[in-house]
Chains A and B, each alone.
Chain A
Amino acid sequence: AQKVTQAQTEISVVEKEDVTLDCVYETRDTTYYLFWYKQPPSGELVFLIRRNSFDEQNEISGRYSWNFQKSTSSFNFTITASQVVDSAVYFCALSEPLGTYKYIFGTGTRLKVLA
């Protein structure tokens, strides 16, 4: 069965520190997609990135970077030089088998960036 584990329930860092949010997944599918979403206090989930199972290239977008490793079934998310505006709950998600249009969400990691 598919599963997403975000072992870090809550992380607190001081502004300008780097922080990595862990995501470990389980799936028997060979084709799948992984996602990261940010949920700020306002409540709306904001899409950050999608990665398919055949693309293990790491990605960098500004202060955000993602490390996808199939060998360890991990898709970790790093924020460099964190800012107070990064404070939010971050969810990792895995797509279910093709044709079901559904996600499996992790339980989320609450990030608090202190000024």
Chain B
Amino acid sequence: DAMVIQNPRYQVTQFGKPVTLSCSQTLNHNVMYWYQQKSSQAPKLLFHYYDKDFNNEADTPDNFQSRRPNTSFCFLDIRSPGLGDAAMYLCATSRAPGTGFEQYFGPGTRLTVT
């Protein structure tokens, strides 16, 4: 089945130790998104790619970076995780162009910072 896959599902890292979360998709969608979701809150968009074009949200901390080496894969790098970065990180994809297309989400990676 076509899907969005995130690895790992659970990640524990130490304060200040870089961590990378990965996302892959078999949907061949042009747009990939990274969201941060904290407990009892709505997902918060960090950035998205339309093909190789990177779009950063204005309030996304510099500590968060992303790479999309090809259509199928996208990575979220947190350079120096703080305790406040503990959250669920959701990857999503959608077709393009236009905003009328639904987003398909992966199962998420729950990040714990110790």
CB within 8 Å of B: which residues of A?
A: 32-33, 35, 37, 42-47, 50, 52, 91, 95-103, 105-108, 110
Nearest 7 Cβ contacts at the A-B interface: A95-B99, A105-B42, A45-B105, A43-B108, A44-B107, A47-B102, A33-B100
Interface of B is mostly: loop
CB within 8 Å of A: which residues of B?
A: 31, 40-43, 45, 48, 50, 55, 88, 90, 92, 94, 96-108, 110
A100 to B33, CA, bound (A): 12
Contacting residues, chain A, for B101 (C-beta < 8 A)? 50
Contacting residues, chain B, for A98 (C-beta < 8 A)? 98-99
Residue ID in chain B nearest A31 by CB atoms: B100
Residue ID in chain A nearest B94 by CB atoms: A101
Can you name 19 extra interface pairs (CB under 8 A) apart from A45-B105, A101-B50, A101-B98? A32-B99, A45-B43, A45-B103, A47-B105, A52-B100, A91-B42, A91-B43, A95-B100, A98-B98, A98-B99, A99-B99, A100-B99, A101-B48, A101-B55, A101-B99, A102-B45, A106-B42, A107-B42, A108-B41
